[in-house]
Amino acid sequence: MLSALTPLMEHPPIAVAVTSRAPAAVAVFTKNFLHPKYIPVIAVSANAMLLDIEKGLVAGFYSYITKPINVDLFIHSVNEGLKFVADSMLKCALCDLAPD
């Protein structure tokens, strides 16, 4: 799995959609190698029970979409994730500019 994340670490994306049979495990692994504060990771799963969704969100996914994918919901999640990233980056930039 690390080899799959290597390109993401070298060229950080603005968002990631992950599909897996073990999404909660992927969330924990991804959280350790990416910066979810700046890169929203969206889970996409066909076999998601409510407990799986809750575990994934607690583990670090920004949102959790079930298959079949509702395109409007997916686009909304991506847009909200990008807005969250922009707000986080702006806050960090403002913190860096603040006098000590």
Q: What is the pLDDT of residue 100?
A: 54
Q: What is the pLDDT of residue 2?
A: 54
Q: What is the pLDDT of residue 35?
A: 58
**Nearest CA among 21, 4, 24 for reference residue 13:** 4
pTM score? 0.66
At position 94, the amino acid (one-letter code) is: L
For the cut 80, the answer to whether the pLDDT of residue 4 exceeds it is no
For the cut 60, the answer to whether the pLDDT of residue 92 exceeds it is yes
Write the pLDDT tens digit of every residue in 34-89: 655 567 788 888 877 888 888 878 877 888 888 888 999 999 998 888 888 788 77
- CATH code of the region 2-97: 3.40.50.2300
Q: Are 47 and 21 in contact (CB under 8 A)?
A: yes
